[in-house]
Amino acid sequence: MLALRLRMENGDVTDTTVRVFVESEAGSDVRRVFDETTLELRSERRVSAAYPFPYGFILGTITDDGSAVDCFVLTAERIRSGTIVRAEPVGLLEQIENDEIDHKVLAVPAGESWSVDASLQGTLRAFISDLFRPYADVRVEVGRILGADVAIAFIASRARGE
The pLDDT value given to residue 102? 87
The pLDDT value given to residue 99? 84
Please tell me the pTM assigned to this model.
0.89
Residues 6 or more apart from 122 whose CB is under 8 A from it? Answer: none
The pLDDT value given to residue 10? 45
- Please check whether residue 6 is in contact with residue 16, taking contact to mean a CB–CB distance below 8 angstroms: yes
Tell me what percent of the chain is helix, strand and coil, each rounded to the nearest 5. Answer: 15, 45, 40
Mean pLDDT, 10 residues at a time, over the chain (162 residues)? 43 72 97 95 95 96 91 96 96 90 93 90 93 89 92 92 60
The pLDDT value given to residue 22? 98
